[in-house]
A = this chain, B = another copy of it.
Amino acid sequence: MLPSSTVENYLKAIYLGETQLPDDQRLLPMGHLASALGVAPGTATTMVKALAESGLVEYEPYNGVRLSAAGEKLAAMVLRRHRLIELFLVRVMGLGWDEVHDDAEQLEHVVSERLIERIDEMLGRPAVDPHGDPIPTADGHVPRHPSDTLLTCPIHQRVVVTRVTDQDAAFLRFIEQHHLMPGETIEVEARDEVADSVRLLGRDDQRITIGMRAASKVRVSTTGARSRG
């Protein structure tokens, strides 16, 4: 039986929840899952037990849930569809990167394999979506390269933005407006723990200070950044 939209959403949420958990002890608490999905805790419990029955997750009562191999494969396919669709909507349909998430959220559950293949081909088998999130391949492999955030990267050194890990439209517009989108070269000038802030030197030597919570959502790479001319 093919998975319902609801099942796909649970698997996706578990996958995404796991990834932002401290490494390799990835067991997602039910509360996290429930609030990520916007459902009552009891609902998540019931559903997860059903998913465990179907072999898509491993469930440890009172501890949490993790994806099985089968569940991870399925989650990767949902994410693949989601991210290909987002990129398609931006590149081909000309929508803004801040306004494609909700459409993709719906479309990911109904596009056929044929159509997704067509989109993938049309986009030239892209590796990342407009936010820099990696696009799983058709065989379920997700390219993983560990990266810094603006909180962890070296200071006084040019870095390239690789990924913006927040789908909030207002935040994305802010990022776009200040030239912090994937591909941009920037530099961390200073971090102030007490002020909870990070000062950045961006394009055209524009300076901007953002909060640490925001900074943690911008991932960067130290390689490939040209030193300043």
Which residues of A approach B to under 8 Å, CB–CB?
89, 92-95, 99, 102-103, 106-107, 109-112, 114-115, 118-119, 122
Contacts and interface: CB of A to CB of B under 8 A. Distances in A.
B114 A99 contact: yes
B111 A107 contact: yes
Taken together, the copies of this chain in the complex come to: 2
Contacts of A89: 115
Closest 6 CB pairs of A and B: A106-B110, A103-B112, A93-B118, A103-B115, A110-B110, A107-B110
A109 B111 CA distance: 12
Given A102-B112, A112-B102, A94 B118 contact: yes
A86 to B, nearest CB: 12
B93 A103 contact: no
Contact of A115 (B93, B109, B110, B114): B93
